[in-house]
Amino acid sequence: MTTQTIAFNTDRKLMKTGLNRIIGIGLFLLPLIWMDLTTYLTLTIAGISLGMLIFLIASGLTLIFGLLDVLNLAHGAFFAFGAYAGYTVLNFFNSLGWIETASLSSSLFYLVAALCAAAGVGALLGIVTEKLVIKKVYGDHLMQLLVTVGVSFVIVEILKIIWGVNDEVVPVPMGFQDSFILYGVFIEYFRIITIILGVGVFAVLQFFLKKTKIGIIVRAGVENREIVKTTGYNISRIFTLIFAAGAGLAAIGGTMMAIFNQSVDPGMGDQFLIFALIVVIIGGMGSVTGSFIGAIIVGLSFNYVAFLVPKMALGVNFMIMAIILLIRPKGLFGKD
Amino acid sequence: MNDPILSLDKVHTHIGQHHILQGISLNMKAKGGATILLGRNGAGKSTTLRTIMGLTPASTGRINFKGKAIENKKTHEIARMGMGFVPEDRAVLFNLTVEENFRLSMIEENEKTHENLNEVLELFPALKKFWKTKAGLLSGGQRQMLAIARVFVCDHALLLIDEPSKGLAPIVVDQLGESLLRIKDKTKVILVEQNFNLARQVGSDCFILDDGQVVFHGLIQDLALDKTMMKNYLGI
Ligand SMILES: Nc1ncnc2c1ncn2[C@@H]1O[C@H](COP(=O)(O)OP(=O)(O)OP(=O)(O)O)[C@@H](O)[C@H]1O
Ligand SMILES: [Mg+2]
């Protein structure tokens, strides 16, 4: 190729991505035709916060896939276990009578406590799973699918033994049930907290991977384990840590979802694993940015469509996934 | 004090079904220049280095480094004991920038390693120019420079370097020779090298391997005079 044709091609590429963006944004303004602005804004904020919830679980999945090349179908089980762990903490505060009277700031405190417990339990579960099972199936996708489905069953059974098989009502701290009004739109505090948490996790992950020494070691380890080992780093410990972090993120997502839905049930993992998988595929396997954008797309379209054509709400996400895969087989941010 | 820094005693290595190293015994003194490993293609030179490093562990035999048995240690533990390794395939991290490649190689980032880094960059100015470039975009020779330069930033007790001159322009080979000469006083180097001139410039003693066994050990000057040896095993 001559330099001229290269320049021409990059020009076309730029124009194409620009055009794609305009089409994308246009699509998300489209619902305005059928609803008034207040409804649209309410749905948009709800959609973004749902997206952030999904991002929390998808980010762990994409981290584990992108960095460790492990297809982890036990991710939904980590998510459910985290939800129950957070529920237990909130229940404890509730038994003291603190939840119903909580101000916004003490609600935040209870939330942080619940999230820490969930993250801890999730990370622990991740460490055990990685050391006992995953370690033996690195590099073998089929085996990964089989054993992680097995792990998922085991975790859910343990969960049922500890917490029982029924749905439980999650006590939501009083401060989160309030809302404030902005330009005529009711906004619940919990939605804003979800968005802040999601964006925060995204920023921390980006910073961690791009700027820190550990991030460099992790990216290096994914590319070439041998160099990392011969430089003097214990790569298997680093991989365990990554898996634990991914599981911890799933567990945090679980607690947030438990509060969002005000309930937990042993099967909740499967349901959201599907959401997370869609997001990861739309965003491009292994891309944290992709999952972030993918989660927002899924959250928004779910909410718009649930309002307009309730029966289509879940289906539309599969449609979006199919369309995106047709245009970009590797997902929005997938690497070739 | 001139105890051996590294010794291999009847080391055998199997890869799958293949018996690659067939009883290698080597002794290397800490001081007095680089030790060169020679031998034709497939003789087992790279496998010897990889076995020392714990990448293809020995099936039997003993390996001692700084007086400690390392044949059962993990690669990263051996590296932490002060052994550095430059593999033969220009192994740098393609998805990391030149800067990140260097940061990775600094087990500890302190004044000393940063000082070393500045020295190394003076030796290989091309790398400074591509500081923020992904290593995957460098030319083959530049990558080779990076692969070598990155082990120089830490102070090792022993460096295993596999065919560093492969694919480098003659002038860069000269630079490389210079840098090897410069570090050989504080760091013991084991060098696999086909370029006999470079080997002679930096090496003191040498081992010739053939079919996974040591067939010659002696001073490199003596080898240069031994016409039959040179012809049979090195084709020179
Ligand atoms: N992973 C492997 N699987 C099977 N055989 C191997 C493997 N690695 C090396 N060998 C074999 O071991 C023998 C020694 O290989 P090695 O790479 O150590 O040779 P070398 O002396 O470094 O050769 P060269 O000068 O070509 O680099 C060769 O016959 C090679 O085919
Ligand atoms: Mg070799």
What are the structural domain ranges in chain A? 3-8+34-327
Q: Which stretches of chain B drop beneath a pLDDT of 50? A: 1
Q: Identify the residue with better confidence: B134 or A11.
A: B134
State both tokens at B135.
């290593």
Which residues, in sequence order, are CB contacts of A217 under 8 Å at separation 6+? Answer: A228, A233, A238, B104
Q: Select from A216, A228, A232 the Cβ nearest to the Cβ of B103.
A: A216
Highest mean pLDDT among A128-142, A172-186, B176-190: A128-142
Confidence (pLDDT) at A320:
84
Locate the chain A residue with the closest alpha carbon to B55. Answer: A226
DSSP B40: S
DSSP code per residue over A33-61: GTS-HHHHHHHHHHHHHHHHHHHHHHHHH
DSSP letter for each residue of A117-160: HHHHHHHHHHHHHHHHTGGGGTT-HHHHHHHHHHHHHHHHHHHH
Choose the closest CB to B93 out of A213, A224, A234. A224
Residue A47 binned pLDDT confidence (cut-offs 50, 70, 90): very high
pLDDT of residue B2: 61
Model pLDDT, residue A2: 42
Which residues does A225 contact at the CB level (< 8 Å), separation at least 6?
A235
Give B100's contacts in chain A (Cβ within 8 Å): 216, 219-220
Q: Give A254-285 pLDDT, tens digit per residue.
A: 999 999 999 999 999 988 888 888 898 888 88
Which residues are CB-contacts of B98 (< 8 A; sequence separation ≥ 6)? B127, B130, B131, B132, B133, B135, B138, B146
Q: Which run of H or of E encompasses B122?
A: helix B111-123
Report the pLDDT value the prediction gives residue A161, as an integer from 0 to 100: 95
| A3 CA to centre of own chain | 42
CA distance A289 to A283: 7
CA atoms within 13 A on the CB side of B75: 21
Cross-chain residue pair B104–A223, CB shorter than 8 Å:
no
CB neighbour list of residue A316: distance below 8 Å, 6 or more residues apart: A301, A302, A305
Q: What is the pLDDT of residue A69?
A: 85
Give me ligand 2 centre to Cα B219, in Å. Answer: 22
Q: A6 pLDDT band (50/70/90 cuts)?
A: very low
Q: Which of B81, B86, B104, B160 to mutate to test the interface with A (most CBs of A within 10 A)?
A: B104
CA distances from B88 to A89, B33, B52, B167, B191 (A): 55, 21, 15, 11, 11
pLDDT of A54 over the 60 cut: yes
CATH architecture of the domain A3-8+34-327 equals Orthogonal Bundle (1.10)
Which of B46, B88, B162 to mutate to test ligand 1, by most ligand atoms within 8 A of the CB atom?
B46
Per the model's pLDDT, the better-predicted residue between A28 and B95 turns out to be B95
H-helix segments, chain A: 3-29, 37-68, 75-95, 104-132, 141-163, 189-211, 213-223, 225-231, 235-261, 268-283, 288-308, 313-327
The whole-number average pLDDT for the span A172-176 is 86
Q: Which residue in the set A226, A231, A234 is minimally distant from B104, CB to CB?
A: A231
Residue whose CA lies nearest to ligand 1 atom number 16: B44
Residue whose CA lies nearest to ligand 1 atom number 26? B41
Least confident of A81-85, A217-221, B27-31, B70-74: B27-31
**pLDDT range class, residue A11, cuts 50, 70, 90:** low
Whose C-alpha lies nearest to ligand 1, atom 13? B42
Per-residue confidence (pLDDT) for residue B186, from 0 to 100: 79
Q: Give me chain A's average pLDDT, please.
A: 87
Residues of B in contact with A228 (CB under 8 A): 104
- B97 at the A interface (CB within 8 A)? no
pLDDT at A336: 53
Residue A9 has pLDDT above 80, yes or no: no
- Say whether residue A113 is in contact with chain B using an 8 A CB cutoff: no
Looking from the CA of residue B192, the nearest atom of ligand 1 is 22
Q: A192 is written with which tokens?
A: 């804003």
Tell me the CA distances in angstroms from A249 to A138, A160, A257, B156, one per residue in order: 21, 21, 12, 39
Task: Tell me: pLDDT of A201 over 50.
Answer: yes
Q: For chain A, what's the residue count?
A: 336
Contacts of A230 in chain B (CB under 8 A): 53, 55, 75-76, 79, 84-85, 87
How high is the pLDDT of residue A7? Answer: 46
The predicted pLDDT at position A329 comes to 83
**Min CA distance, B77 vs chain A (Å)?**
6
